[in-house]
Amino acid sequence: MKCAVYIRVSTEEQAKEGYSLATQSDKIVEYIKGKGWTYSQIYNDDGYSATSRRRPALERMLADAAQRQFEAVLVYRIDRLSRNLKDLIEIVEELAKNGAGFKSITELIDTTTPEGRLMFHQFGSFAQYERELIIQRTTMGIHKRCFKNHR
């Protein structure tokens, strides 16, 4: 199977969670080689948030999918692709329309199977939930600092 590799970090995530681009690509390439597959390209969105679909490498990857340059997109974790369930669904549907599946190497996600599609929706929901918690905590922290500074 010919795969595409998609990796992404925002600067904040890389610092906090250790999902460096090198770690993601190394793990995915190792997984691909272990399966006896090949990869066409590594699409790298360094410093881009998963809250928007407007990312250069993501857009190139989707354009290449339309040209049927690969059969599957592999990510380290689903939240590398997006933290928005609606966007995840739209991206994966676009890939499927062009004959490409979607796989996460650390989660039970493989959209070429019914079970994998179920897990895709579950993990996608958790990714969105996590994003909303991050926003909530950040907002609370900002409000607390503002209140503390105005006493």
Catalytic residues, which ones? 10
**Strand-strand pairing, 101-104 and 109-110:** antiparallel
Q: At what angle do helices 85-97 and 114-149 cross, to 10 degrees?
A: 150
Give strand pairing partners of 39: 3
Q: Long-range contact list for 56-64, CB < 8 A, 24+ apart?
A: 57/6, 57/8, 58/6, 58/8, 58/91, 61/4, 61/6, 62/91, 62/94, 62/95, 64/4, 64/40
Q: What is the DSSP letter of 76?
A: S
Rg (CA), the chain: 17
